[in-house]
Amino acid sequence: MLKKGFWLILIIVIAYAVISITTGSPIERVQFRSNVTDYLHKMYTMNWKIDSVDYDFKNDKFIANVISGSGISFLVDEDYYGQMMDNYAASVWRDELKKAVTQKAKEVTGSDAEVIVNVNLMREDSITYHDKVPSYSMVSQKLSSEASIYIKCGFSTTQYLQEMLEIKQWIVKKRYDASLTFKSEKGKIHFAIPAEDLKKIKSVEDFYPYWLQIN
């Protein structure tokens, strides 16, 4: 009987160790979720819910996937020093830019567009804004070097430069400054423009230095 009890305990210990290594400690997962809940209550007045808690095996830490009341998905995790941080502001800006640019690209080209937006945000900026995040246009001058917009759609085979120019001018007018990439659905058209060069492009000819040749 004692022998059976020993083997049962050993199996439980081994199973717990395997689970902890591959998906994180169950006890630490519960504690992390509790810490995230406290953090979100402290940081935000908006409605939110923790959608899931995942384990980052490579960095040996948990990451919470959170959804705001308005449908914005963002992440909460801990930095190197164990301090909670999130990317809510960056997620708000990605959503703002993606919706606006997608609509504009479709309006100009007449085709559906794939738009990918990336905005890197330092933790201190996230703390400053809390849930009262301004429009990206209000902070683009500060963040343009850390932001990118990728647009892939069915550009015209003959008027693609004019279509790109119209979209680029609209982006500058809206103050959505970021590095800008244009690519056609078949990949034959590919231009990449750094954020600091957006205002330099005033005619279709100005795009030529930014053409990426596809072999």
pLDDT digits (tens, 9 = 90+) for 189-201: 899 999 999 999 9
Across the chain, what does the average pLDDT equal?
A: 88
Which of 14-23, 72-81, 143-152 has the least mean pLDDT? Answer: 14-23
Distances (CA, A) of 141 to 97, 111, 176, 199: 15, 30, 9, 13
Confidence grade of residue 56 (pLDDT, cut at 50, 70, 90): confident
The model carries a pTM of 0.85
In eight-state DSSP terms, residue 37 is H
Distances (CA, A) of 97 to 59, 62, 104, 127, 149: 30, 28, 10, 21, 8
